[in-house]
Amino acid sequence: MGKSIAINAGSSTLKFKLFEMPNEKLLALGAIERIGLGNSDVEIKYGDGKKYTDTLDIKNHDEAIQLLLDKLISLKILESFDEITGVGHRVVAGGEYFTDSVIIDDKTLQEIESLREFAPLHEPANVLGIKAFKKILPDVISVAVFDTSFHTTLPEVNYMYSLPYEYYEKHKARKYGAHGTSYRYVSQRAADMLGKPLEDLKLVVLHLGAGASIDAIKDGKSYDTSMGFSPVAGITMATRSGDVDPSVLQYVMDKENITNFDDMIDILNHKSGLIGISGVSADMREVEEAQTENHRAHLARDMFMNRVVRYIGSYVAEMGGIDALVFTAGIGENSITLRQELTDQLSYFGIKVDSEKNNIRGVERDISTNDATVKTLLIPTDEELMIVRDIERLRK
C-alpha cells in the first residue's frame, strides 16, 4: 500500500491532503499560508482529531515543501519519504492541449509553463510546486490534474466568444472554464446516487464556494460552464465580479483615472462580487448575518442568487431539460437557507426540496421531496480525492 499526496499550490499558499492508497483513507490534510510574506502559518490535521500549528518564516515553495515533508515524518504520519508513491498537482490552466490529467515529465512541464498566459496569477505557482516536489522526491511519479480538462468537451458553439474568429485561430481566445476536477467528482457521485449511467443524465452542478461556477453536464460531458477564458466570468463570487459589460470597465477606468488594464482586472478579481457590493464581507456567512439590517449585504446575496438562477435557467434551456440539480462547495454544502430559497424559485422546473432533509451541512444526501420530478442533491466535493485517484489510474 502506498501513500499519495494531492497538492494545491497558490502564489503564497500550499494546501495538501495525504491519502493511503488504494483504499483512499485520508491520513492528513493542511495548509501553509503566507509563504514568502513573513509569519507563515502552518496547519496540519491528522490522526483522530490531532492538529499541529506553527508560525514561522518560510521564504519560498521549496522551503514550504521540505518543511511539510519533514513534519509528516516528525509527527509520525509517515515513517520515511519512501512511503510516498505519488504526488498529484492541481494545475489551473491546461488550455486546449491537456484534455486529461498527465504524468509530468520534462515535455509536459514545458507545455504547462507555456500556458502561463492563460492563468498568469496561478500557473507560475503551480509550476513552483511541481518543481519543488521533483527536486525533493525525484523518483516519485507526479501527475498534473487540470481544472480545465473536464471542459475540453464543450461544443464549439459554447466555447467560442462572438469576437472576430481570427482571435481564436491566432491566439486560442475562448472559454476554458474551471473547477473541472470538482465537476468530475460530483457528477460521478450524482450518477451513483441516482443509480443511472452519467451518460443518460442532464445535470446542472452548482459549485458555490469563494470561487463559484455552474456547469451543465450532458451525455456524461461538460456541455457549458459559467467561467470563461478566466475564472472571473460567470456568477457573482466572493471577490470576483462575474459577467460584466466590458464598456462599463472603460467608462469606470476613465472616471477613476485607472490607466492600467491590469489594475482593472485586479478590481474585478479581488474587490468585486460579495465584498464589492456589500462592503461587509467576501464570506457568505457574514453577508447572510448582515443582510437583515444592511441593504447592501441583502442586495449582494440577492444578486448572487439571481445570477445562479439565471444560469440554471439558461442551462436547462440549452440542454432541453434537467434530471438533477447538484449543490457543492462551501456555500452550496453549508448554506441551508440559500439552498432552500434558491430551489423555491425553481419549482416550475419540478425542483422541490424537503426542508427537513435540507436541514444539514456537508453530508451527501438527496434533499428532494418525494414528488419532485427533478432531483436535488447535496454532494460535498473532493477535488483532492479525484487527484489521487488520477495518480492510480495513470500509473497503470
Binding site for ligand AMP (CB under 6 A): 209-210, 238, 283-285, 288, 329-331, 334-335
Nearer to ligand AMP, 231 or 330 (CB): 330
Instruction: State in Å, rounded, how far the first CA of the chain is from the last one.
Output: 15
306 is in an annotated binding site: no
Closest approach of ligand AMP to the CB of residue 302, in Å: 15
Q: Is 285 annotated as a binding residue?
A: yes
As beta bridge partners, residue 40 has: 56
**331 known member of a binding site:** yes
Say whether 147 is catalytic: yes
CB neighbours of residue 105 within 10 Å: 9
Integer Rg of the chain from CA: 21
- Which one from 147, 323, 382, 390 is the annotated catalytic residue? 147
Question: Which residue is at the shortest CB distance from ligand AMP?
Answer: 330
* Smaller CB separation from ligand AMP, 8 or 334: 334
Q: 31 or 173: whose CB is closer to ligand AMP?
A: 31
Sheet containing 102-103, strands listed edge to edge, beginning at the edge strand earlier in sequence? 50-56, 40-46, 25-33, 14-21, 2-9, 84-91, 142-146, 102-103
Across the chain, the runs of DSSP E, i.e. the strands, are 2-9, 14-21, 25-33, 40-46, 50-56, 84-91, 102-103, 142-146, 202-208, 212-218, 221-225, 324-328, 365-366, 375-378
**Is 210 annotated as a binding-site member?**
yes
Closest contact distance (angstroms) between CB of 395 and ligand AMP is 29
Known binder of ligand: residue 240?
Answer: no
Nearer to ligand AMP, 186 or 191 (CB): 186
Q: CB–CB of 289/258 below 8 Å?
A: no
Binding residues for substrate: 90
Residues with catalytic function = 147
Q: Summarize the annotated binding site for ATP as residue ranges.
A: 15, 207-211, 283-285, 330-334
Q: Which residues are annotated as part of the binding site for Mg(2+)? A: 8, 383
